[in-house]
Chain A
Amino acid sequence: MIFFKKLLKILAKAFLVAWCLFSVLGFIWILITSLKTNRELFKNAWGLFTEPQWDNYASIWTSFKLSRNFLNSIYVVSLSVIEIILVCTPAAYVLSRVKFFGSRALTSLVVFGMGVPFQLLLIPLYFSMHSIGMVDSLFGLSIVYCALSIPFTVFLEMGFFRNLPTALAEAAYIDGSGPIKTFLLIMLPLGMPGVITAAIFNFVSLWNEFLLALTFLNSDTLFTLPVGLFGLQTSMQYTGKWTTMFAGFVIVTVPTMVIYMLLSRKIISGLTMGAIKE
């Protein structure tokens, strides 16, 4: 039995190593490919380059505005996340802790929004945004992102607030602080891990958002990273410059990976702390 258990553990470990090895090799392959010539790629897809083609990177950098796209993405995603948190956190708090007429209905309404595919909203939403003159602006896009992120964020944060101990809040009431003060000084700090988790989840999903950005932004100076990357893909494949496209992938992936690695630790701590029970 013990032998069997050990074997199982070794197998599981081996699987983890194989899984990770595969991912690492995947990335190394992308890296190597980005330094090859096209002929080398299609002649010997898994081989090394004879001479690194740094030109692939140079030509991407000069003919595409990836750095601009990158800054736009950082700006619009950060702004959206701030808006989302400011708008959703108080609402999630109230919905999870106070029962009032219509609270259940409102909660269901918000939660069921998670099921709406946003492709559905594309055209009607465009009309709404157009009527308030918010098209082709990063701020306008951030509002759209905020609106579409409400259901999931509220759902997530409600889970966190619901799990917070009541004793502290009750004590605060008895001490005579008002409900808003109780929220700001006691409950919000306790619920912070939930807020952080929500922020990270939204950051991750908005960072890769493509369709809305493509629809709501008209000027290429405002394009976000996914839109820029998509343009790069079309451009490279219609001209057969596949290895240059891989250079683009590397340029886009590396900073994103760094951001995500920093954040993934936050995700872990956020989720862990948020779920501690009384």
Chain B
Amino acid sequence: MKPSGLRRSERPMVWLFLFPMTAIYVLMFIFPSLRAFYISLFDWSGFTASMRYVGLGNFRELLGDDYFWSVAFVNTLKILFIGGAIIFAIAFLLSGVLSTNLRGKKIFRAITFFPTVLSPIAVAILWSFIYNDRWGLLNSTLKLLGQERLILTWMAPEHLFGSILAALVWMNTGFYCIILLAALDRIPQQTIESAYLDGAGEMQVFWRIKIPMIKDILATALTLWAINAVKEFGLLFAWAGGVDIPAAGATNLAVKMYVTAFGRRVTVYRMGYATAMGIVMFLLVALLVFLISRAFRSEVFEY
């Protein structure tokens, strides 16, 4: 259905229904957001009342900030795209199996969802025990299988990001899997069966039938992932035990922004500069949300 024009009789309803949301949103969200943009024009520790106006100085500095772009921004993009591709691939695979008539379906579903509810702190510790160089689960298993040549120091700087990404995938997949599952469950079985009878292969059914039929939910899931991926914070931050600022392999935009604003033993305390970083994050998410809604537009609006 397309939104209809305003009827006279609907006017009071429009005002009544919109007012509480708009009031809270403007006062508690838009206004502080604008204030945040304003803050990004200042050099400010966040502790004193005095703020030094620097105009676009923070943004100029940010553009030349090598660490921010080459480490934090790149890692965020990797989480977003590489991590996202893996998560959705696995989520599709698992939900595909789970949507068939499987024995113990409910239990499998619950278990798949389980990592989502774990505290990121617990996940970080669990995985750091898995990756331990000498007695970690991973290297022990490799030794057991006689694959000594695959043994690595998994959390050494050059492998750290990949290792954390694996943990991140494990932690997040269940959530998206459950969402996709809900979508797949509602595809009429006959549609798929008749496609098979028509001689369509597994891949064809997936791309031609399943994906189009779950497009709307897929759009929501992707939007959610885009937002969560850019804002991902807990696991990376917990990786350093919460005692130190995370190493390069565990730094993304959200982590970098947090430690720039609030420090973590390292007393950076640069609210204005961190706010400028936040604006970059905002622009990134806004762009992604826009692109996703564009890509799925026909589905969302044409009913």
Contacts and interface: CB of A to CB of B under 8 A. Distances in A.
A97 B1 contact: yes
Contact of A116 (B33, B116, B220): B33
Among A100, A111, A120, A144, chain B packs the most CB atoms within 10 A around the CB of A120
Interface in B1-15: 1, 3-7, 9-10, 12-14
Interface stretch (B53-61, B94-102, B153-161): B94-102
A142 B9 CA distance: 34
A179 B24 contact: no
Interface string A112-154: 1111110111011101100000000000000110111011101
Nearest to B37: A120
Contacts of B216: 159, 163, 275
A15 interface: yes
A22 B231 CA distance: 26
Interface in B179-202: 179, 181-183, 185-186, 202
A209 B181 CA distance: 26
Interface residues of A, number: 102
Max chain A C-beta neighbours (<10 A), residue from B21, B39, B108, B278: B21
Among A96, A116, A165, A256, find the residue whose CB has the most chain B CB atoms closer than 10 A: A116
B255 to A, nearest CB: 10
A23 B126 CA distance: 11
A177 to B, nearest CB: 10
Nearest to B227: A114
Interface residues of B, number: 101
A125 B28 contact: yes
Contacts of A45: 129, 132, 135-136
A90 B111 contact: no
Contacts of B122: 30, 246, 249, 253
Name the prevailing secondary structure of the B interface residues.
helix
Nearest to A153: B21
A30 B129 CA distance: 11
A29 B126 contact: yes
A233 B21 contact: no
A115 B227 contact: yes
Contacts of A146: 24, 28
Contacts of B223: 114, 155
A109 B18 CA distance: 13
A171 to B, nearest CB: 14
Nearest to A95: B18
A46 interface: yes
Interface in A234-278: 234, 237, 242, 245-246, 249, 252-253, 256-257, 260-261, 264, 267-272, 275-278
Given A115-B282, A163-B216, A128 B28 contact: yes
Interface of chain A: mostly helix, strand, loop or mixed: helix
A95 B18 CA distance: 8
A93 B140 CA distance: 56
A229 B285 CA distance: 29
B222 interface: no
Given A268-B181, A275-B217, A120 B33 contact: yes
Interface in B57-81: none
Contacts of A58: none
A104 to B, nearest CB: 9
Given A16-B98, A106-B18, A272-B182, A121 B36 contact: yes
30 contacts: A13-B102, A15-B93, A19-B90, A22-B170, A23-B114, A45-B136, A90-B16, A90-B18, A94-B17, A97-B4, A98-B3, A99-B6, A110-B25, A113-B25, A115-B285, A115-B288, A119-B257, A120-B282, A121-B33, A127-B32, A150-B24, A150-B29, A162-B300, A165-B1, A208-B234, A245-B125, A264-B113, A268-B182, A272-B182, A272-B186
Interface of A: 5, 8-9, 12-13, 15-16, 19-20, 22-24, 26-27, 29-30, 44-46, 86-88, 90-91, 93-100, 103, 106, 109-117, 119-121, 123-125, 127-128, 143-144, 146-148, 150-152, 154-156, 159, 162-166, 178-180, 183, 204, 208, 210, 226, 229-230, 233-234, 237, 242, 245-246, 249, 252-253, 256-257, 260-261, 264, 267-272, 275-278
Top 8 closest pairs, chain A to chain B, by CB: A115-B285, A147-B28, A90-B17, A91-B21, A271-B182, A124-B32, A120-B278, A124-B35
Given A90-B20, A162-B300, 17 more contacts: A12-B93, A15-B94, A23-B111, A27-B114, A112-B289, A113-B33, A115-B281, A116-B29, A117-B230, A117-B254, A117-B281, A119-B278, A123-B46, A125-B28, A147-B24, A159-B300, A166-B4
